[in-house]
């Protein structure tokens, strides 16, 4: 059991985003700048979300798992979960997890709307519903995009976060904040205000 040290197997991947992206095929690397969390962001978010040991952290819309995998390296005493609607991205996340030999990450294929948030302590959100807006960069054409879905997903996430107890932590990156209930308060910002750290009171 690792009590806080980054594992030797994981270390080489954390040297830079370029290193980390080598875990994925070229088609996925090309999407990294627009769609996957930079490892410097993952490190800061993990440090805030996993302030205590044995917490369960959910990435809402986990893509190819970059946030979860990097965060799991930085915080081996926490457990990171990612829920992702695209099965193909889950497959890339799983193969990267195997390559990195990480035991504290798990990926769930499905829509976050179907997930029981009671199981998780804290949350990470990288503007996952943005693709639904017209004129934005899309990951692929495998799903339908509508403004109605954007609004619907934001409403559901808002409701699920609102039901969480005081002390729940949330990190948002590039968020329009429609999904954040007023009971969550910003305690810190970073990356020119794009990265926000919230605690529910």
Ligand X SMILES: C[S@@+](CC[C@H](N)C(=O)[O-])C[C@H]1O[C@@H](n2cnc3c(N)ncnc32)[C@H](O)[C@@H]1O
Residue number with the smallest Cβ distance to ligand X:
61
From the CB of 34, what's the least distance to ligand X, in Å?
8
**Residue count of the chain:** 201
User: Is 90 among the residues that bind ligand X (CB under 6 A)?
Assistant: no
Work out which of 153, 184, 197, 198 binds ligand X, going by CB under 6 A: 153
Give the tokens for residue 45: 């978010």
Strands (E), the chain: 56-60, 79-84, 105-109, 122-125, 169-173, 184-190, 195-200
Kindly state whether residue 36 participates in binding ligand X, applying the rule CB under 6 A.
yes
Instruction: Judge whether 47 and 72 are in contact, CB under 8 Å.
Output: no
Strand 56-60 relative to strand 184-190: parallel, antiparallel, unpaired?
unpaired
Determine which residue in the list 20, 28, 58, 59 makes contact with ligand X, applying CB under 6 A.
59
Among 28, 35, 71, 198, binds ligand X (CB under 6 A): 35
Distance of closest approach, residue 107 Cβ to ligand X, in angstroms:
11
Q: Which of 44, 57, 80, 84 is the binder for ligand X (CB under 6 A)?
A: 84
Inter-residue contact 157 to 60 (CB < 8 Å)? yes
Which tokens go with 194?
Answer: 């794009």
Interface residue list for ligand X (CB under 6 A): 35-37, 59, 61-63, 66-67, 83-86, 89, 111-112, 126-129, 139, 153
């Amino acid at each position: 059991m690792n009590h806080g040290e980054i594992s030797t197997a994981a270390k080489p991947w954390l040297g830079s985003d370029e290193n980390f992206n080598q875990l994925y095929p070229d088609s996925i690397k090309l999407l990294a700048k627009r769609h996957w969390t930079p490892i410097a962001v993952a490190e800061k978010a993990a440090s805030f979300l996993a302030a205590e040991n044995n917490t369960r952290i959910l990435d809402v819309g986990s893509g190819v798992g970059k946030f979860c995998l990097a965060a799991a390296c930085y915080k081996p005493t926490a457990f990171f979960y990612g829920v992702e609607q695209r099965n193909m991205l889950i497959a890339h996340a799983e193969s990267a997890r195997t390559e990195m030999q990480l035991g504290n990450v798990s990926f769930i294929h499905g829509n976050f709307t179907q997930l029981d948030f009671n199981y998780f302590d804290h949350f990470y959100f990288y503007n996952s519903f943005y693709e639904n807006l017209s004129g934005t960069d899309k990951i692929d054409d495998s799903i339908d995009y509508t403004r109605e879905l954007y609004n619907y997903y934001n409403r559901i996430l808002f409701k699920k976060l609102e039901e969480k107890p005081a002390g729940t932590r949330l990190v948002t990156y590039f968020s329009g904040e429609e999904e954040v209930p007023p009971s969550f308060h910003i305690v810190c910002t970073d990356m020119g205000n794009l990265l926000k750290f919230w605690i529910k009171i």
